[in-house]
Structure 1
Amino acid sequence: MSNREQIIERIKKLLSHSVENGATEAEAVAFALKAQKLIAENDVEDWELGEECKQEVIEATTEKSYSRAWRGFLAATVAENFRCKAIQRQRFTETSSRRKTFITFIGYECDAKAALMVFEHLYAVGNKLGKEHENRYYTDKDAYENFVRGFTQGVEDELAKQCQALMLVCPKDVDDYYNNMSLKQPRRQRAIFGSEHSREAGRAAGRDAVRSRRVEGGKPAYQLA
């Protein structure tokens, strides 16, 4: 078996560690990040991965809705590292008379599905830690918003290192698919009262969230309930 064949097999093995196949959510995220890194480092084409990753542009949408304003910032940050585009869509659901917001990742199948999984996990972590921070620092009017925006920046700090080092770019057909969509401009977010302490606390947590998800990393510094 050639060196490239060994790499392909390793990527396939990493991609097989899904929640559906028995991995925990945290493990699946770690394996997805590692597989994506190997794909980019070795310029692996999707067709080389066979059924594990079809080279067609798809839309992968979250099953649950997201009400917090920072969802778009985090989605865009994750999408860039997975050669995707992220959009927000609103629609009515069977259980609500108000429109709910869902996140959609547009990209090649492996990229879009991995981005969605990583987004959902990091959002859950950031949201949980943000609420805890808000409870501790209730004198900060916008403690939650400052923390989660810092958290997103911390995630971007870590993911950008890989994105820039590997010179990741969004494929042309993904760009074309996105540019041909009819999209509304997202609603402008309200101004918040800045808190450097809350921002920095969130930023450190965001960096650690990505570092601790890597296969080669140490124990996570946070824990989901």
Structure 2
Amino acid sequence: MNSSNEKIIEKIKKVLELSKNNPSIEEAKSAAIKAQRLMAEYHISMSEIEIIDDIENIVEEKIDVGTGNKWKYTLSWIVAKNFRCKYFYYGKSTVVFYGYEKDAKIAAMTFEMLFNIGNKESMKYYQKQRQKYLSKCEDFDGKGIKNAFLNGYLLGIQEVLEKQCTALMIVIPKELEEKYINRISKSRKINTSFKLRKTFEGEQAKREGKKIGKDIVMSRRIETKA
């Protein structure tokens, strides 16, 4: 390894430490994304960084987002695989990210933020369309419009995160895979999959949702440029 790479790796390690030991949720998320950007820019792999220098604890980070909102299951799948985690559910309201402590915490914080923004933006879009039709004294059938928006929102998030995941060659560690299988086999309370209902495909709503999803991931609301 040349001295230039060593300096970059040390810089990335320092940024990762900020994400791990930072009382500010926003700064922790920004530091994690900044580290990933540096790794992608300089073609540094996860193995070179040796994120887990010591044996790091595997933890469960729980987020209770209530019942309903079935799109949360797809969102948890997207976030987990892009932050080196596994996931499962307790009942119909609690999403659990299972992984090394740093990864699981960042995944949970990112999920919660994206979930809250998705609900807020989909409702905003619904109300905007409703007012548009009512102002023209036209009947408004909003059935499925929020689901179409959220479907696009998820696609936008997935597209941006997976490009980064591929560039960084992020994979689930073998040890984590083995412990996850052992963990879910020991509890009948754990759910690992849900069937999602087919949603109304409103192309305009879907396009708007996808744009918002991509913008959210790429904006300073969840990352800072390296």
Q: TM bucket by the smaller chain?
A: 0.7 to 0.9
User: Given that residues 58 and 106 in structure 1 are in contact (C-alpha distance below 8 angstroms), is that contact kept between their aligned partners in structure 2?
Assistant: yes
Shift in CA distance, 136/39, structure 1 to aligned 2, threshold 3 Å: same
- Give the gaps of 5 or more residues in structure 1: 91-99, 218-225
User: Given that residues 36 and 82 in structure 1 are in contact (C-alpha distance below 8 angstroms), is that contact kept between their aligned partners in structure 2?
Assistant: no
Equivalent residue, structure 1, for 2:34: 34
Shift in CA distance, 67/10, structure 1 to aligned 2, threshold 3 Å: same
Shift in CA distance, 37/83, structure 1 to aligned 2, threshold 3 Å: farther
Aligned residues, how many?
A: 199
- Find the residue that maps to 1:106 and give its secondary structure: strand
Shift in Å, 1:5? 3.3
Q: Return the index of the structure with the highest Cα Rg.
A: 2
TM-score normalised by the chain length of structure 1: 0.78
Shift in CA distance, 106/10, structure 1 to aligned 2, threshold 3 Å: same
Match of 1:114 among 106, 111, 117: 106
Structure of higher RCO (CA pairs closer than 8 Å, 6+ residues apart):
2
What is the root-mean-square deviation of aligned Cα atoms in Å? 2.5
Q: For 2:192 and 2:27, how far apart are their aligned partners in 1?
A: 35
2:8 is equivalent to residue 10 of structure 1: no
- Give the gaps of 5 or more residues in structure 2: 131-140
Larger helix share, 1 or 2? 2
Q: For 1:130 and 1:26, how far apart are their aligned partners in 2?
A: 23
TM-score normalised by the chain length of structure 2: 0.78
Shift in CA distance, 36/86, structure 1 to aligned 2, threshold 3 Å: farther
Shift in Å, 1:57? 2.0
Shift in CA distance, 148/71, structure 1 to aligned 2, threshold 3 Å: same
Q: 4+ residue runs of structure 1 moved beyond 6 angstroms?
A: none
User: Given that residues 15 and 35 in structure 1 are in contact (C-alpha distance below 8 angstroms), is that contact kept between their aligned partners in structure 2?
Assistant: no
Q: For 1:102 and 1:65, how far apart are their aligned partners in 2?
A: 7
User: Given that residues 65 and 103 in structure 1 are in contact (C-alpha distance below 8 angstroms), is that contact kept between their aligned partners in structure 2?
Assistant: no
Shift in Å, 1:37? 4.9
